[in-house]
Amino acid sequence: MECDEPDVDVAIVGGGISGVYSGWRLLGGPLPAASLPASWAEGRCDRKLKVALFEGSDRIGGRLLSARSPHLPETTAEIGGMRYVAPAQRLVTGLIEKALNLSWHDQAVDVPGNIAFLRGRLLRTSDLGRPAALPYALDASEQAWLAARGGQSPAALIGRALQQLMPGIAEHLAGSTLREYLATVAIDRATGVPDLWHHGLWNLLAKMMSPDGYAGARATIGYDCLGGNYNALDLTAEYFNFTPEVSYRMVDAGYESVPWSLRTAFEAAGGETVLDHWLTGFERAAFADGSTGVRLVFRNGRTRLARALLLAMPRRSLELLRPEGPVLADPAFRRDLLSVSAVPLFKLFLLYRECWWQEAGVSKGRSLTDMPLRQCYYWLNGSDGRTVPHPNDPALVMAYDDLLNVTFWSGLDTRRHTAETGAVRPLFVGVPATAEVPDDPFGKRLRQNWEAHSATRTMVAEMHRQLKMMHGVDQAPEPVDAAYMDWSRDPYGGGVHFWNPNYESARLVRRMTQPVDDFPCYLCGEAYSTNQTWVEGALQTAEIVLQDRLGLHRAEWQDG
Ligand SMILES: Cc1cc2nc3c(=O)[nH]c(=O)nc-3n(C[C@H](O)[C@H](O)[C@H](O)COP(=O)(O)OP(=O)(O)OC[C@H]3O[C@@H](n4cnc5c(N)ncnc54)[C@H](O)[C@@H]3O)c2cc1C
């Protein structure tokens, strides 16, 4: 058998948050004496681990994608992930606020008096708790329940159904025991399938809610996927991340500044970042010291040898790799890949010269509609994202939707797009840019991100039409610039993921981090975590690999 020397200890493939975070953690401090990484670095005089991060696209950040229009150069739009839940999301909160010490602000979401345009009727969010005002035929008990709670929206009917199904749930909502409770609670004894994880959430809700109660709840929670038929255990936990009691925080400089800062620190510690390298597959390698490693093969024909491979990418990216070798051809691994579904997500930012929507009495937070634009966020201005714009100032609105709605918008972009980056050729031509290209590298990146995601005229015109309709106006100034992303494109396959019914995520989450015993290939990222849809999930699985597979210590900032 041919024997080689590895050229890196750990090759990380995928430069999203989980990949760059793992590289930063591996090089971030002394290695525990008995750990695998320490044994790899042992023979070297500097005892330093060699870590390389390979990314197919031309940027680090993946689904954290911040952008700035040249027409509003101080304000950062979030085309991908935008917020975190503090303090409940312990890892990401500690990373941002303690380890990286980045400044943050609270995000306004459900603002009283904002708009809910449902079934063609223009309501205010304050109307949502009045059953008589709603365009939904709720049953008598739903009407009475909602009326008694004046102020809650039909979205809360999902919470009511869950409490009826699992009466003990209430006492677990405040603490950190919700998932433990959901893992052991017995439901639906009559059918002989008591475990929550065997069920699809929609299947359960359909039995507990009237058809219109369900329709109203799904419309007013903002995301269709939250009422979807994904694994009832995981989706129940996720539902409670989106109730009015939860508070969100945003990073002032943009969420992409987190992977940006990690990359800077990773490189300063000796890490190697390699962009424009798409992995096509990998195979077993045998090293001269008798150990087993990995030969990585890239689309550009290059190969690299590593002692260990960390795949930091979602389901669709894994499915795009050649199904060969000890992991990717393994039948059990291929079956496990199917345990999650990718959820299409779409965001479109429109820039207006003035905030015409403020005449309708809305200036921050979000408004809702059941039209394909679904959620409309009134974006705040300024380099720290905290300023409510003056009515005559330029400002952004963000449309945000999921599932079937995403296909509505993709039909309005007939341009060819490249398979890997999802970038589209710029066709939409606004007015000439008003700002110079920024000097600082991060500012330049934010400008490039905006320009790589330009929207088409037809898409923008349709979004403008729906925005006017939901705000009850016939005339409004035309938008001057726009950027968007359809996250269902390759290599993502979706913006976020949910476990499918019949899969026990608590068990699978560990198995996926090292799919094949005795082969040094590890997997991390949001897709196969138990904090799906969040950066927290990406960090959670990275920590399972780092601590449980590679023997690293917890970081100090992770405590409390
Ligand atoms: C619209 C939207 C809104 C969201 N909102 C929030 C939010 O508010 N808060 C929150 O916490 N989370 C949010 N999320 C989720 C969050 O963005 C993700 O959980 C997180 O960024 C995922 O990180 P990751 O490392 O798992 O994967 P990714 O970010 O998907 O990184 C994977 C990387 O791998 C690269 N890659 C893929 N295949 C290959 C290959 N063959 N070779 C080389 N490189 C490859 C990709 O180019 C990419 O850079 C949102 C996501 C979207 C899309």
Annotate 186-198 with DSSP letters as a single string: B--GGGT--BGGG
Angle at 481 between CA 477 and CA 487, to 5 degrees: 125
Of 246, 328, 522, 535, best ligand 1 pocket probe by most atoms within 8 Å of the beta carbon:
535
Whether ligand 1 lies within 6 angstroms of the CB of 23 is answered as no
Q: Give alpha helix (H) positions in 210-300.
A: 211-221, 232-239, 257-268
Give the C-alpha separation, 98 to 261, whole Å. 13
pLDDT for residue 418 = 52
Amino acid at 202: W
User: Which is the closest atom of ligand 1 to the Cα of 538?
Assistant: 26
535 C-alpha to ligand 1 centroid (Å): 8
The closest alpha carbon to 128, from 218, 212, 243, 220, belongs to: 220
Residue 466 in tokens = 């729906």
Whether ligand 1 lies within 6 angstroms of the CB of 55 is answered as yes
Q: What is the pLDDT along the chain (560 residues), one digit of tens a residue?
A: 466 899 999 999 999 999 999 999 999 988 999 999 999 999 888 889 999 999 999 999 999 999 999 999 999 999 999 999 998 899 999 999 999 999 999 999 999 999 999 999 999 999 999 999 999 999 999 999 999 998 899 999 999 999 999 999 999 987 778 999 999 999 877 778 889 999 999 999 999 999 999 999 999 999 999 999 999 999 999 998 877 778 899 999 999 999 999 999 999 999 999 999 999 999 999 999 999 999 999 999 999 999 999 999 999 999 999 999 999 999 999 999 999 999 999 999 999 999 999 999 999 999 999 999 999 999 999 999 999 999 999 999 999 999 999 999 999 987 765 544 444 444 444 445 667 889 999 999 999 999 999 898 899 999 999 999 999 999 999 999 999 999 999 999 999 999 999 999 999 999 999 999 999 999 999 999 999 999 999 999 999 999 999 999 999 999 86
Name which residue sits closest to atom 22 of ligand 1, judged by CA: 526
94 C-alpha to ligand 1 centroid (Å): 20
pLDDT for residue 315 = 98
pLDDT for residue 2 = 60
Name which residue sits closest to atom 53 of ligand 1, judged by CA: 495
492 C-alpha to ligand 1 centroid (Å): 7
Give the C-alpha separation, 59 to 276, whole Å. 8
Q: Tell me the CATH number of domain 8-58+275-341+497-558, given options 3.40.50.920, 3.40.50.150, 3.50.50.60, 3.40.50.1010.
A: 3.50.50.60
Q: Is 523 helix (H, G, I), strand (E, B) or coil?
A: strand
**Residues 525/259, Cβ–Cβ less than 8 Å:** no
What ranges do the domains of the chain cover? 8-58+275-341+497-558, 66-110+345-486, 138-243
Whether ligand 1 lies within 6 angstroms of the CB of 525 is answered as yes
**Residues 275/448, Cβ–Cβ less than 8 Å:** no
Give the C-alpha separation, 227 to 156, whole Å. 12
User: Which is the closest atom of ligand 1 to the Cα of 495?
Assistant: 53
Nearby residues of 209 by Cβ (< 8 Å), 6 or more positions away = 142, 157, 158, 161, 217
538 C-alpha to ligand 1 centroid (Å): 8
Whether ligand 1 lies within 6 angstroms of the CB of 14 is answered as yes
Cis bond leading into 491, ω under 30°? yes
pLDDT for residue 422 = 45
552 C-alpha to ligand 1 centroid (Å): 24
Nearby residues of 142 by Cβ (< 8 Å), 6 or more positions away = 131, 157, 160, 209, 210, 213
Name which residue sits closest to atom 1 of ligand 1, judged by CA: 80
**Residues 27/266, Cβ–Cβ less than 8 Å:** yes
Name which residue sits closest to atom 41 of ligand 1, judged by CA: 279
Name which residue sits closest to atom 34 of ligand 1, judged by CA: 14
Name which residue sits closest to atom 38 of ligand 1, judged by CA: 317
Strand partners, 470: none
Phi, psi of 554 (to 5 degrees): -60, 150
534 C-alpha to ligand 1 centroid (Å): 9
Of 313, 324, 328, 409, best ligand 1 pocket probe by most atoms within 8 Å of the beta carbon:
313
Give the C-alpha separation, 366 to 397, whole Å. 9
Q: Give alpha helix (H) positions in 66-124.
A: 90-94
314 C-alpha to ligand 1 centroid (Å): 7
pLDDT for residue 27 = 97
Angle at 484 between CA 481 and CA 485, to 5 degrees: 165
Give the C-alpha separation, 47 to 33, whole Å. 11
Task: Specify the CATH architecture of the domain 66-110+345-486.
Answer: Alpha-Beta Complex (3.90)
- Sign (positive or negative) of CA dihedral 419, 422, 423, 425: positive
274 C-alpha to ligand 1 centroid (Å): 18
Name which residue sits closest to atom 37 of ligand 1, judged by CA: 317
